[in-house]
Each structure stands twice: as C-alpha cells, then as structure tokens.
Amino acid sequence: MARKATISIDVSDMSKALKFYVEALGCKFKKKYSDDWQVVSVGTLDLHIQEKAAGTIGAADEKRHYQRHWTPVHLDFIVDDIVPVCAEVEKYGGSVEKKAFSEVADLANCADPFGNGFDLIRESLE
C-alpha cells in the first residue's frame, strides 16, 4: 500500500521553476536529488520538480511542450487572499486567467511559466 502521495511537475527550466514555486507560491525548498530533479513542499505535500526538455516523450507518443495546456489533474493552493498571490504569480512569469469572488470563497485560475494549470483558493473559515 502507498505510504504517501506526491505530485511531479515537468518544467523546462529548473532555476525558473524553483524561483516561481518558492517566491510566488511560498513553497519551501526541501531537497535536491540531481540538477534536473528537486523537491519543494507546501504543507505536507511534496512537489517533485523535474526538468525535461520540450519535444521529449511525455507519455505514449505525446511529446512534451510548455505552452498552456489542459490537464484533468491540477493543484489547488489555499491562500488567505488571492489578490496579492495573483500579483506574485504574474511577477514570477506565471499567468492569471480568471478570478471569481464571493463571500465564502475566491478562486483564481492560473498557470505556472511552463503552462501547468493550478488554482488559488481563498475559503471562508466560518
């Protein structure tokens, strides 16, 4: 049986990815396995950042690319306020595609500099 779940994120530039996930999203650097495989964490979740060249095979016969792309699985980062975090996302090369605000929760659909989508969520604590 599995002991833990982690997430792997493919990127084309390790230093840019580490700067984005640590500076823009507040992840903590955890460990370096190699120059092209490093780990950051948020809460108890480890994000395995793996540098892989565009054009290499990602799965089956589909080649990796780093333009914005859709995936049915994505990360949600819970934050206290989406507005300043959205500004940091854009400052470090990511994009903010849509924002929605309500009394009980706010949501921002975003992407990292490598086209990987994620959401920022502010939830009411009440």
In the numeric block, which tokens belong to residue 95?
A: 């994009």
Residue 105 lies in a domain: yes
Are residues 8 and 59 in contact, defined by beta-carbon separation less than 8 angstroms?
Answer: no
Inside any domain, residue 27: yes
Beta bridge pairs of residue 8? 48
The residue behind tokens 């989406």 is 82
Q: What is the pLDDT of residues 8-41, one digit of tens each?
A: 999 999 999 999 999 999 999 999 999 999 999 9
pLDDT digits over 53-79, tens only?
999 998 899 999 999 998 888 999 999
Q: What's the CATH code of the domain at 105? A: 3.10.180.10
Structurally, how many domains does the chain consist of?
Answer: 1
Query: Does 2 map to a domain?
Result: no
Residue 39 lies in a domain: yes
Q: Around Cβ 11, how many Cβ atoms within 10 Å?
A: 24
In a domain, 1, yes or no: no
- For 59, the domain range is 7-123
pLDDT in tens, 75-122: 999 999 999 999 999 999 999 999 999 999 999 999 999 999 999 999
